[in-house]
Structure 1
Amino acid sequence: MSGFGTNDLTDRDILSYVALGDSFTEGMSDPYPDSDSVPNGRYRGWADRVAEHLTDHVGEVRYANLAVRGRLIGQILEEQLPRAVELSPDLITICAGGNDIIRPGSDPDAVAALFEEAIAGLAGTGARVVVFTGFDTNWQPVMRHLRGKIATYNMHMRAIADRYGCDVVDVWSMRILDDPRAWNWDRLHLSPEGHRRLALRVCEVLGVPLEGDWNEPWPPAEPRDWRAARQEDLYWAREFLMPWIHRRLTGRSSGDDVSPKRPALEPLRPDH
């Protein structure tokens, strides 16, 4: 844990918060109600939701979200970290390295070295820094083989967090997210309900009082026959897996030509 008291974030009139990362932090698959289309519409996501929760306890929340979908950890270091240091916020969240880890041939030790470089730079700002472990992919047959690499990276991140006094959101242990309803149809990004639950968990780690339980059991699922499950698998492979593989082979990213949605620290309006 960092040296901040549990109520430190809410015992002030103005709070500045900067979120760094990739699609996980950008909020993909959680569009705002006023979004007419995606990806041209506005994504919400757990980080926006955390900022919204903070407005219930702080006079003014100034919030920037520098995350961009598809970003590798080296790109986050190069593009987002200098801006976050420049903004000198009170609170920083960073989730980075997931896109590296899921790529074939990636080395979690090398990714962790870059992660520590990022944390060292962010810790120097004096901000409260929050990091996230990777998800447990055991429930996903297609990504189950990545568990070992993700677990190795998680152990590195925990050790780094200890060295620099960061808070840790242990997403790996959130068994409530093993339910398919926590995920978008692409099986890689959280659903709106998944983002809502994760925001509650982050607030819990930060010591921010709120209503709601991130670990509330899911209602009974509707029965599905094997034919429907098979059709969903085929649709997923055609609409997500094959385009993802094609981008890897051609060196493109879903975040090409995408800019951060909140590049500056701006007050969060009452209507968010």
Structure 2
Amino acid sequence: MLRIKLLPLVIPLITKISFCEDKKVCYKPSCYLSYLFSTPTVEEEIEVPKEKIEVTKIDSSNIIEKELNILSDIKDKTEASNIIEKELNLQENLLKEIKKNPLSLEFVKNKTQELCDLAVYNNIVAFLYVPSEFMTNEMLEYVIKKNPFLLEIIPENKQTSNLCELAMDLNIKSYEYVCDKLRTENYYVRCIKTNFANELCPQTFLGKIPDSKKTEKICYYLALRGYFEYVPENLRTYELCKIGLKKSGINASIKENYIPKKYLPFIEYDKIMKKYTLP
């Protein structure tokens, strides 16, 4: 009975307020109808003020840049790997070519120690194309043993006393290729003692010895080997004069031109001839 009586009251109410602004049934908490009707298939409409909405923007440019950098690194590493592989293949091919034809070292732009060693040990002539930075002590010794006169093309900063002595041991005539800084007293004495100057004109060597480098020892061997005329005047001692005269066979030219006059009265030629003999 009650339901029949109320129905006329409810229907007009529904008819009056069952629709909101957009003519939809509104189930907002503030709406009276939300207490009377509920439909689980319809979502509730909740109004959120626009000023309360915060939008987080994602900077895609940073992500793209990072990805590009990664790709670039991968590309660079790949290219580097390819370059290294090509270089290794090139080096391997060069080694084969140098072993086959050592003189082709002349045309190799980027020479290495390995290439230079291989070329020289297979053909000594390839030494002509070896840069100074690849001239090791072992290589130089090998070269000199093969040909002492190659001392001529060895740079001054690569020559050593041992290397020069080795060259002169093998052929004394390689003396002329010894650099100035290594032309010591022993060097000159050695050249004079070998008496090789007799094979040539003495001026080619003896005449080029600077007086500033002539020591008493050098002058002694000059006098002993018959080259008294190359002894500087200030180093012509009484003993050297006697040796010089003995070795020259009492040469009148030596006596008149090279023996100081103060010594002449004291020199007894007959005694000198008997006393001084070659060591």
> If the TM-score is normalised by the length of the shorter chain, which range does it land in?
under 0.3
Task: Pick the structure with greater CA Rg.
Answer: 2
TM-score (norm 2): 0.19
TM-score (norm 1): 0.20
Higher share of residues assigned strand? 1
